[in-house]
């Protein structure tokens, strides 16, 4: 059984190490190793993760049946029922087994969102296809300057939810 566990500050080293492993496995064909290192330092250092948590970002560890961390999901509620998915990463060696769909459904059952938005690199075809499969649509295209001469060239994707009938 795959589960979500809300992370604490004590989990920041685990999140950083997961990010490093996943990003190098996944992003080297999309961005440079230098940009990966810059982004890991900027967004995943214990200090950066603590700041995000202090600002209301909820970061969940994705745990397998043996309680090993195999990924992470981070979300922020911007207004009632309107969420932004900041991060959603699963280790490459366990992808393709329905874990992403399972975790997204678990989170949706927990949060009951009216809308979920995310940003995804425009060259990240595997993730874009996953998001299409799970009901997202491309809403916009945007480039974000993240400093040091780097940018994130992303699609903004949105998933709206129909009211539940009772």
pLDDT 10s digit of each residue in the chain, 166 long?
899 999 999 999 999 999 999 999 999 999 999 999 999 999 999 999 999 999 999 999 999 999 999 999 999 999 889 999 999 999 998 988 999 999 999 999 999 999 999 999 999 999 999 999 999 999 999 999 999 999 999 999 999 875 544 3
Residue 41's Cα: distance from chain center in Å? 17
User: pTM to 2 decimals?
Assistant: 0.91
- Phi first, then psi, for residue 19 (nearest 5°) are -60, -45
Is the backbone of residue 164 left (phi > 0), alpha (psi -120 to 50) or beta?
Answer: beta
Spell out the domains of the chain, with CATH numbers in brackets: 3-115 (3.40.630.30)
DSSP annotation of 10: G
Cα 94–157–111 angle (5° rounding)?
Answer: 70
Annotate 108-145 with three-state secondary structure.
HHHHCCCEEEEEEECCCHHHHHHHHHCCCEEEEEEEEE
Cα 72–34–30 angle (5° rounding)?
Answer: 65
3 to each of 6, 63, 68, 124, 133, how far by Cα in Å?
10, 5, 10, 25, 21
User: Using CA atoms, how far apart are residues 135 and 113, in angstroms rounded to an integer?
Assistant: 13
């Amino acid at each position: 059984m795959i589960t979500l566990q809300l992370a604490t500050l004590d989990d920041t080293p685990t999140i950083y190490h997961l990010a490093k492993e996943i990003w190098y496995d996944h992003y080297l064909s999309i961005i440079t190793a230098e940009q990966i290192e810059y982004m890991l330092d900027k967004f995943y250092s214990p200090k950066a993760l603590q700041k995000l948590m202090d600002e209301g970002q909820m970061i969940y560890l994705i745990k397998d049946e043996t309680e090993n961390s195999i990924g992470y999901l981070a979300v922020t509620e911007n207004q009632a029922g309107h969420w932004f998915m900041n991060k959603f990463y699963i280790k490459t060696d366990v992808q393709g087994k329905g874990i992403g769909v399972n975790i997204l459904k678990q989170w949706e059952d927990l949060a009951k969102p009216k809308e979920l938005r995310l940003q995804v690199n425009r060259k990240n075809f595997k993730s874009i296809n996953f998001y299409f499969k799970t009901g997202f649509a491309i809403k916009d295209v945007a480039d974000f300057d993240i400093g040091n001469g780097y940018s994130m060239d992303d699609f903004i994707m949105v998933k709206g939810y129909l009211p539940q009938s009772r």
